[in-house]
């Protein structure tokens, strides 16, 4: 649940509770106030009648007067009674139904005779008034709550905007991608501090990452010269005579090891260069044509193991990519398919929609998940002797750079690598 909704939920609950509670409360308070007013006016009427009784002189006059006013009822009594106010439901001829009335009963004396005088007042108008007031009140309350919620929502949205921007920045932040993150400055101190803290964290991590990358690249570069010297000395050593078989064997071992070192170093350099975005130029590359060329190049190596390579490119796949990197990417996959193949094995290279599939025979067990890790090597397997363990790591890196998906499956004894170009969307990431 979003932060905003969470606070609003509490407000909403409280407002609703108050809303429900105030309506009956309001009803009762208003009603008693109105009744009080009616009672006051009834008493006043009674008092006025009593004070004006002097103007009535005969029994007949009294009867006539009481008959004129429908709200007045007179009945003779023997004993004096006390004034009393009460509510009663009575049939109203006007509305032809029972209606609530408020009445006052009191004794009066006319011409020495005692009468019970009842003055009644219909409460029907009062009830109407009360319900109107309540309706208005409810509308006002409702509008108030809605308005509060709306304002709150709006203010929260604006208030929390810097927070959401910061959050999005953090989600988008990637160490190996140089992204320009802009924060929203706010008048809220906490958000400004948060932005500053996140910004510092980003720049510090990027700096460390950059330093590490630079270090790797520099280290690999610096290694080139001693490796070159070493190799040249080995070559000179080969020219010395007399040269015994034992010495030749040792030199040979050194030469092979040196070649491995050189290759390892080159792969490391390549990895750092990819990560440092040093392959910027992109062109449209047709995958089928590239594969055909690579298959032709690999012919010498495939022939050694008598491996048959089939190429089938019914789908034209064109990607916008750096030509060096795509060649390394597919070349590495193809080279692995040859290297880890069996004698008289086969390799199938084909295109599908936006996808390149490389299928090959090889070991009878599937490769583990960590096959894309750096320096991962399968121990004791043919072909690993002079492997750097970086080939697939480079593949993975290039895929990450261009947002390609590389997946591996082992189906019916065949190792299948699928390279999904995602509609050739090479522009992403490459240009940053």
Among 9, 90, 301, 316, binds other proteins (CB under 8 A): 301
Q: Give the interface segment with other proteins, choosing from 22-30, 117-125, 162-170, 230-238 (CB under 8 A).
A: 230-238
Q: From the CB of 291, what's the least distance to other proteins, in Å? A: 13
Cα dist from 223 to 215, 220, 239, 258, whole Å: 12, 5, 25, 12
- Residue 354, interface with other proteins (CB under 8 A)? no
Angle between helices 245-275 and 189-239 (to 10 degrees): 160
Give the N- to C-terminal CA distance of the chain in Å, as an integer: 35
330/371 with CB nearer other proteins = 330
Count of residues of this chain found to bind other proteins when the rule CB under 8 A is applied: 46
Bond into 202 cis (ω within 30): no
231: contact with other proteins by CB under 8 A: yes
Q: Among residues 145 and 324, whose Cβ is nearest to other proteins? A: 324
Q: Which is nearer to other proteins, 7 or 224 (CB)?
A: 224
Q: Which of 106, 288, 331, 345 binds other proteins (CB under 8 A)?
A: 331
Write phi, then psi, for 345 (nearest 5 degrees). -80, -175
Q: Binding to other proteins by residue 252, rule CB under 8 A?
A: yes
Of the candidate spans 51-59, 203-211, 227-235, 422-430, the one that interacts with other proteins by CB under 8 A turns out to be 227-235
249 binds other proteins (CB under 8 A): yes
Q: Which of 126, 332, 361, 397 binds other proteins (CB under 8 A)?
A: 332
Counting contacts by CB under 8 A, is residue 264 touching other proteins?
A: no
Beta bridge partners of 198: none
Nearer to other proteins, 110 or 338 (CB): 338
Of 123 and 294, which has the nearer Cβ to other proteins?
Answer: 294
Q: Is 236 in the site for other proteins (CB under 8 A)?
A: yes
CB of 215 to other proteins, least distance (A): 17
- Nearest distance from residue 216's CB to other proteins, in Å? 15
Among 67, 95, 157, 221, binds other proteins (CB under 8 A): 221
**Residue 1 engages other proteins in binding (rule: CB under 8 A):** no
Task: Determine, following the binding rule CB under 8 A, whether residue 369 of this chain makes contact with other proteins.
Answer: no
Task: Please tell me whether residue 335 binds other proteins under the rule CB under 8 A.
Answer: yes
d(CA 90, CA 106): 19
In terms of CB distance, is 46 or 328 closer to other proteins?
Answer: 328
Q: Please choose, out of 96-104, 142-150, 251-259, 360-368, the segment that lies near other proteins by the rule CB under 8 A.
A: 251-259
Rounded to a whole number of angstroms, the minimum distance from the CB of residue 357 to other proteins is 19
Q: Does 419 bind other proteins (CB under 8 A)?
A: no
Q: Which is nearer to other proteins, 173 or 230 (CB)?
A: 230
> Which of 95, 154, 233, 316 forms a contact with other proteins (CB under 8 A)?
233
Smallest distance, Å, CB 375 to other proteins?
Answer: 16
Query: Residue 235 interacts with other proteins (CB under 8 A)?
Result: yes
Compute and round to an integer the Cα radius of gyration of the chain.
49
Cβ-based nearer residue to other proteins, 233 or 316:
233
3-state secondary structure the chain: CCHHHHHHHHHHHHHHHHHHHHHHHHHHHHHHHHHHHHHHHHHHHHHHHHHCHHHCCCHHHHHHHHHHCCCEEEEECCCCCCCEEEEEEEEECCCCEEEEEEEEEEEEEECCEEEEEEEEEECHHHHHHHHHHHHHHHHHHHHHHHHHHHHHHHHHHHHHHHHHHHHHHHHHCCCCCCCCCCCCCCCCHHHHHHHHHHHHHHHHHHHHHHHHHHHHHHHHHHHHHHHHHHHHHHHHHHHCCCCCHHHHHHHHHHHHHHHHHHHHHHHHHHHHHHHCCCCCCCEEEEHHHHHHHHHHHHHHHHHHCCCEEEEECCCCCEEEECHHHHHHHHHHHHHHHHHCCCCCCEEEEEEECCEEEEEEECCCCCCCHHHHCCCCCCCCCCCCCCCCCCHHHHHHHHHHHHCCEEEEEEECCEEEEEEECCCCCCHHHHCC
List residues near other proteins by CB under 8 A.
Answer: 221, 224-225, 227-236, 238-239, 243, 245, 248-249, 251-252, 255-256, 259, 262-263, 266, 269, 278, 294, 297-298, 300-301, 303-304, 324, 327-328, 331-332, 334-335, 338-339, 386
């Amino acid at each position: 649940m979003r932060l905003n909704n969470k606070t609003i939920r509490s407000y909403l609950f409280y407002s609703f509770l108050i809303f429900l509670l105030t309506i009956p409360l309001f009803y009762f308070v208003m009603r008693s106030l109105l009744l009080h007013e009616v009672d006051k006016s009834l008493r006043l009427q009674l008092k006025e009648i009593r004070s004006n009784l002097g103007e009535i002189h005969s029994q007949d006059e009294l009867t006539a007067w009481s008959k004129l006013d429908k709200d007045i009822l007179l009945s003779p009594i023997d004993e004096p009674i006390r004034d009393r106010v009460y509510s009663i439901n009575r049939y109203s001829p006007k509305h032809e139904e029972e209606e609530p009335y408020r009445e006052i009963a009191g004794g009066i004396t006319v011409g020495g005779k005692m009468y019970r005088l009842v003055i009644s007042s219909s409460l029907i108008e009062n009830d109407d008034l009360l319900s109107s007031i309540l309706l208005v009140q409810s509308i006002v309350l409702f509008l108030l709550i809605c308005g509060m919620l709306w304002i709150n929502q709006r203010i929260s949205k604006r208030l929390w905007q810097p927070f959401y921007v910061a959050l999005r920045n953090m989600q988008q932040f990637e160490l190996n991608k140089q992204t320009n993150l802009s924060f929203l400055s706010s008048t809220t101190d906490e958000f400004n501090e948060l932005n500053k803290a996140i910004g510092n964290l980003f720049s510090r991590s990027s700096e460390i990452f950059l330093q590490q990358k630079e270090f790797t690249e520099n280290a690999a570069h610096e290694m080139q010269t001693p490796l070159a010297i070493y190799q040249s000395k080995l070559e000179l050593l080969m020219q010395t005579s007399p040269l015994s078989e034992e010495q030749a064997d040792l030199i040979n071992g050194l030469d092979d090891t040196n070649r491995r070192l050189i290759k390892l170093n080159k792969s490391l350099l390549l990895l750092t260069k990819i990560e440092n975005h040093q392959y910027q130029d992109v062109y449209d590359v047709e995958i089928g044509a590239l594969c055909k060329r690579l298959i032709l190049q690999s012919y010498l190596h495939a022939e050694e193991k008598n491996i048959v390579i089939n190429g089938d490119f019914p789908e034209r796949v064109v990607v916008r990519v750096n030509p060096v990197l795509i060649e390394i990417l597919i070349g590495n996959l193809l080279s692995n398919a040859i290297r880890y193949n069996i004698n008289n094995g086969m390799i199938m290279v084909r295109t599908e929609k936006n996808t390149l599939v490389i299928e090959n025979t090889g070991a009878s067990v599937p490769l583990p998940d960590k096959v894309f890790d750096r320096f991962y090597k399968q121990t004791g397997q043919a072909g690993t002797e002079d492997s750097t363990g970086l080939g697939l790591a480079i593949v993975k890196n290039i895929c990450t750079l261009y947002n390609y998906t590389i997946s591996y499956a082992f189906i019916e004894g065949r190792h299948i690598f699928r390279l999904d170009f995602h509609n050739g969307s090479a522009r992403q990431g490459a240009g940053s």
